Amino acid sequence: MSDPTDHFPELTARIAALEAERALTLRLAQTDSLTGLLNRGAFTSALCERLEAEGAGPLSLFVIDVDRLKHLNDTLGHHAGDLMLTEIGARLRADAGRDELMARLGGHEFAVISTVEDVGPRAQRLVDILTRPLSIYGRTVTLEVAVGVASHPADAGDAIDLQRFADLALHRVKLRGGARRWSAFDAELRAQAEQRRTLEADLRRAIAEGEIEPWFQPVINSDDGRIVGVEVLARWRHPARGLLLPGAFVPMAEELDLIGRIDEAVFEAACASAAPWVEEGLIDTLSCNVSPRNLVDPAFARKLMRRLARTDLPPTALVVEITETFLLQDMTLARRHIERLAARGIQVALDDFGTGYSNLRALMNLPIQALKLDLSLIADLGRDTRVSRLVGAMLHAARNLGVNIVAEGVENEAQALFLRAAGCDRMQGYWFARPMPGPEMEVMLRAPAPRQIPTSLAHLRLRRA
């Protein structure tokens, strides 16, 4: 029997048109509109399909990061960035080998699935084609490219691991810098990945079991050497690895979205310890650090105030330390947080000040009580006369603007003397005291006689009023 549509040419044409339309819609849904490459969703499905296909042979995933795009957007406008992306798409498509799939994963991240056996030359070729100079609005632009590779089945069995491992290889290229712009997953990265996995499981357990504890470092009044406050710093008392500093777990906690729970736990424990110290007049303030990851929450200030209300610490005794870099990243949100906190009497200090190139005058429109001079500046005092002059000028400006300055990382007498002479209000650093557990801090705060510190200068002694 013949196909009934043979007799209805109009119907046949209509069906063909609908099918074409459906195919187009499907293709559009799978395509990144700017570059014409696959988008992330379509790429991930394709990768999974290829890995699950019966008798799937070896294949490699190349992830590509193109730097300078943001810079290009900022200097030449978004249209320039779009032109660049279009050009990257065209170059990748023109270079695609048989069986290869090319995608834009988002932002300035691209990916290629390939069955080439020798990944090195393929990766290098990707670098070469993408770093060829390009002219945009009459300007010659060269992009910075990094490529990470992981292979199936040699490195990983499934799509998730393959992507994770290629990302790790990419990360290593960016971290190392240098001329070679690609890297393949290897034994060194595998060991790192395994260590991270153990650490992750460990960190979740540690938070649940209260192994993250608050340590305290005194903040000294420069005029009389009195302890006027403490800053709480997180420490992880690890059952096997000993005491871990924040550098060993905070970045990972941020990546895993666990930092909120750490900050919360540290905050609550610190408030419990410090509330009686404030109540008895042993200190005026408790300073807490907040991760930028928690600050991006628009409800941050409200949540913090609710948590504070459950403790015995008065709002006026709390100093929230926000880093200068976060402030510069999102001035509008930072201003909202700072104003909300200030309205309740909570103080805000700008941490790591001097690392982010903010404009002192612009800052003065914010209700900020203190700037904490970054320890890298203090370390260079006396070593580099330009830094000494810069710090002197900052202190002078801050005094005129009526904001307090706290110097962090004061490690020797010369630094302390310089800072004091230049009018720095408060200091913190190993020379006065290292961070210590709560009970030790308490002993120091209650000590009847001033603690002996290695200085000939009585006026800089660490003592209570």
Residue 111's binding partner among ligand C2E, Ca ion, none (Cβ under 5 to 8 angstroms by kind) is none
Tell me the C-alpha to C-alpha distance, in Å, between residue 256 and each of 189, 191, 233, 281.
19, 19, 20, 39
d(CA 77, CA 71): 9
Min dist CB 232 to ligand C2E, Å, is 6
Asked if residue 155 binds ligand C2E (CB under 6 A), the reply is no
d(CA 251, CA 238): 17
Min dist CB 373 to Ca ion, Å, is 9
Neighbours of 294 (CB within 10 A): 17
Asked if residue 65 binds Ca ion (CB under 5 A), the reply is no
# binding residues, Ca ion (CB under 5 A) = 4
Min dist CB 218 to ligand C2E, Å, is 10
Residue 263's binding partner among ligand C2E, Ca ion, none (Cβ under 5 to 8 angstroms by kind) is ligand C2E
Q: Is 74 helix (H, G, I), strand (E, B) or coil?
A: helix
Asked if residue 352 binds Ca ion (CB under 5 A), the reply is yes
Pick the stretch among 26-34, 156-164, 330-338, 405-413 that binds ligand C2E (CB under 6 A). 405-413
Residue 430's binding partner among Ca ion, ligand C2E, none (Cβ under 5 to 8 angstroms by kind) is ligand C2E
Contacts 24+ apart (CB under 8 A), 94-101: 95/125, 95/126, 95/129, 101/38, 101/43, 101/46, 101/47
How far from chain centre, in Å, is Cα 233?
Answer: 18
**Would you say the C-alpha torsion 347, 353, 356, 361 has a positive or negative sign?**
positive
32, 284, 324, 351: residue in contact with Ca ion (rule CB under 5 A): 351
32, 87, 284, 321: residue in contact with Ca ion (rule CB under 5 A): 321
Q: Which is nearer to ligand C2E, 119 or 258 (CB)?
A: 258
d(CA 158, CA 155): 10
Pick the stretch among 1-9, 160-168, 398-406, 424-432 that binds ligand C2E (CB under 6 A). 424-432
Q: Is residue 155 a contact partner of residue 95, using CB atoms and an 8 Å limit?
A: no
Neighbours of 413 (CB within 10 A): 15
Asked if residue 291 binds ligand C2E (CB under 6 A), the reply is yes
Residue 425's binding partner among ligand C2E, Ca ion, none (Cβ under 5 to 8 angstroms by kind) is none
Min dist CB 233 to ligand C2E, Å, is 4
Residue 82, φ and ψ in degrees, nearest 5 = -65, -40
In residues, how long is the chain?
465
Per-position x/- string for 313-352, each x denoting binding to ligand C2E as judged by CB under 6 A, each - no binding: --------------------------------------xx
Asked if residue 259 binds ligand C2E (CB under 6 A), the reply is yes
The residue to which tokens 């913190």 are assigned = 428
Tokens of 464: 């209570």
Asked if residue 430 binds ligand C2E (CB under 6 A), the reply is yes
Residue 216, φ and ψ in degrees, nearest 5 = -130, 140
What is the side-by-side strand order in the sheet with 109-114? Answer: 101-106, 109-114, 59-67, 144-152, 182-184
151, 222, 289, 415: residue in contact with Ca ion (rule CB under 5 A): 289
**Residue 396, amino acid:** H
Q: Is residue 159 a contact partner of residue 189, using CB atoms and an 8 Å limit?
A: no
Alpha helices in 296-330 (DSSP H): 300-309, 324-329
d(CA 154, CA 60): 9
408 is known as an active-site residue: yes
Asked if residue 87 binds Ca ion (CB under 5 A), the reply is no
Residue 173's binding partner among ligand C2E, Ca ion, none (Cβ under 5 to 8 angstroms by kind) is none
Residue 291's binding partner among Ca ion, ligand C2E, none (Cβ under 5 to 8 angstroms by kind) is ligand C2E
Which of 241, 244, 236, 235 minimizes the C-alpha distance to 217?
Answer: 235
The residue from 408, 411, 413, 442 that is catalytic is 408
Per-position x/- string for 205-244, each x denoting binding to Ca ion as judged by CB under 5 A, each - no binding: ----------------------------------------
Q: Which of residues 346-385 bind ligand C2E (CB under 6 A)?
A: 351-352, 375
- Please list the active-site residues: 408
Contacts with ligand C2E, residue ranges (CB under 6 A): 217, 233-234, 245-247, 250, 259, 262-263, 266, 289-291, 351-352, 375, 408-411, 428-430, 435
Contacts with Ca ion, residue ranges (CB under 5 A): 289, 321, 351-352
